[in-house]
Amino acid sequence: MKEYGLYINGGWVKASSGKTFESKNPANGETLAIFSEGTREDVVKAIEVARKTFPKWRGFPPPKRGEILLRAAAIMRQRKDELGVLVTQEMGKVIAEGKGDVQEAIDFLEYIAGEGRRLLGETTPSELPDKICFTLRQPIGVVGCITPWNFPTAVPCWKLGAALISGNTIVYKPATLTPFCAARLVEILEEAGLPPGVLNMVTGPASIVGEEIVQNPLIRAVSFTGSVEAGVDIYSKASRMLKRVGLELGGKNPQIIMQDANLELAVEGVLFGAFGTAGQRCTATSRLIVQEKVYGEVKERLLSRTQAREVGDPLDPKVDVGPLASKEQEEKVLKYIAIGKEEGANLLYGGMKLPGGKYDRGFFSAPTIFEARHGMRITKEEIFGPVLSLMKVKDFEEAISVANDVPYGLSSSIYTSNVNLAFRAMQNLEAGVTYINAPTIGAEVHLPFGGVKNTGNGTREAGTEAIHEFTEVKSVFVDYSGRLQKAQITE
């Protein structure tokens, strides 16, 4: 059995607590590896190493930083199948999605490596003669990255890649459900040539490891992906020290189907959006809003296709839906299914833990579809599981109103053949991401990712915005006139 310590200053060390925890396969309960349970003392040690390493890494030429990230991407590409299997074993998503998680990590590292030759500033004319004005992007310092379990390779690469190319040093806390994927990523970055002390990883509970990262004054920025409740707590604590905080939180994402849509394509999209990753994506389709003229046909097609979904061993390529990631996730999903029934929603399909046989040792929940009224809790609150609310609306205006009437605003989708409605939806849907004739999942790494309202605090990951979270802007004025010039003063 592989046992990992904490990764500090380029080496694996035991936690000061001497305690360990296990990473387990949610499909069968088997232990995959053993990890050290870090303490506040361990986090402080990691922060101090990152602080001492920062000046040297800051001075390391950005193109050379990019070369390290490119080598890491190349290693991941060579080991994609092996890493994809690990993602599936540790997190539970089906093998095609496990490999897709790794591919997204590769794509982003290749993309962000190019920022080493950009890190673009602005050059503008001065209002005075013989003077030039421009901006520089500079690293913040020691940053804390706290990542989720549902994308255990891709999301860490989003954060670590952007922070590293910008010249920051890092204290990294992965989710306690998926530390094996995190350890493999750290090993790859080390193999690619990342100097000791630049990246430090401390595994352990959020209440201890995460809390110290958030509260320690030497951490100058915190990047977090997770629940709204945890995000609000992090934001309130870190902001008291004027730290930079980047939050990517929950979603309650709508897919709209208009009466002129390609219904076969639309139903295919919602199946992937609602039940891919067993609904455990912040971008998962949890609400299907259908215009009344085609509601009956969509409902019939949706039920037929859902009944044909195969739930089971996520390593089996024929399986469509794997397990939930943990007992806690299973209990949360079952709780919301009970709430839906209590509210009077019409359970059309699923609504239960799958019993017996191949499901005995794992956390398997049936894909679930409710016929619901807008305003029910299951239509407003994030469930983070394979539960879909189907709702009927009269027209486009009602569809947009229902779509927007939730506390979240991450992803959104509309299926229509009407270009005018498509462009109106782009403008009117309250979301950071909008898809036309595609599901609510499937973001690409070269576009910014994030949301509005309770989905976050305005920061964006990936794309051209990625480095903004991890850099400060410095304005520079160079006066080569040889005399004192006073801007704005005319007398």
Query: What pLDDT digit, counting tens, does each position of 208-261 carry?
Result: 999 999 999 999 999 999 999 999 999 999 999 999 999 999 999 999 999 999
Instruction: Answer whether residue 327 is part of any domain.
Output: yes
Helix axes 80-91, 62-78, angle to 10 degrees: 80
Residue 484: pLDDT band (50, 70, 90) is very high
Structure tokens at 242: 């004027």
The answer on 207 and 176 residing in a single domain is: yes
The answer on 83 and 10 residing in a single domain is: yes
- Contacts of residue 309, defined as CB under 8 A and 6 or more positions apart, other chains included, come to 271, 275, 320, 321, 367
Spell out the long-range contacts of 118-124 with Cβ–Cβ below 8 A and sequence spacing 24 or more.
119/62, 119/165, 119/166, 119/467, 119/471, 121/473
The answer on 401 and 301 residing in a single domain is: yes
What is the SS3 assignment for 279? helix
**H runs (alpha helix) in 59-140:** 62-78, 80-91, 95-113
Segment 2-24 shows an average pLDDT of 97
Contact of 381 with 228, CB cutoff 8 Å: no
What is the SS3 assignment for 23? strand
Predicted confidence at residue 396, as pLDDT, reads 98
CATH number of the domain residue 266 falls in: 3.40.309.10
Catalytic, 157? Answer: no
Predicted confidence at residue 490, as pLDDT, reads 81
The answer on 271 and 162 residing in a single domain is: no
Residue 1: pLDDT band (50, 70, 90) is confident
The answer on 414 and 284 residing in a single domain is: yes
Beta strands in 126-211 (DSSP E): 131-139, 142-146, 169-173, 199-201
Structure tokens at 131: 């003077």
Which of the residues 145, 157, 181, 282 is marked catalytic? Answer: 282
| pLDDT at residue 126 tops 80 | yes
Structure tokens at 401: 């109103």
The answer on 158 and 48 residing in a single domain is: yes
Which of the residues 104, 248, 382, 461 is marked catalytic? Answer: 248
The answer on 212 and 314 residing in a single domain is: no
The answer on 235 and 294 residing in a single domain is: no
User: 442-477 burial by CB neighbour count: b if 16+ within 10 A, else e?
Assistant: bbebeebbbbebbbbbebbbbbeebbbbbbeeeeee
CATH number of the domain residue 19 falls in: 3.40.605.10
Catalytic, 461? Answer: no
The answer on 10 and 99 residing in a single domain is: yes
Residue 70 — φ and ψ, nearest 5°? Answer: -65, -40
Left, alpha or beta for 429 (phi > 0: left; psi -120 to 50: alpha)? beta
Instruction: Answer whether residue 175 is part of any domain.
Output: yes
Structural domain count of the chain: 2
Say how many C-beta atoms besides its own lie within 10 A of residue 299's C-beta.
18
Q: Which domain holds residue 7?
A: 3-249+456-476
Structure tokens at 489: 């003063």
| pLDDT at residue 491 tops 80 | no
Predicted confidence at residue 39, as pLDDT, reads 98
Instruction: Answer whether residue 406 is part of any domain.
Output: yes
The answer on 224 and 96 residing in a single domain is: yes
Summarised one tens digit per residue, pLDDT across range 100-125 is 999 999 999 999 999 999 999 999 99
The answer on 238 and 259 residing in a single domain is: no
Summarised one tens digit per residue, pLDDT across range 406-453 is 999 999 999 999 999 999 999 999 999 999 999 999 999 999 999 999
Q: Which residue has the tokens 């990712």?
A: 449
The answer on 423 and 379 residing in a single domain is: yes
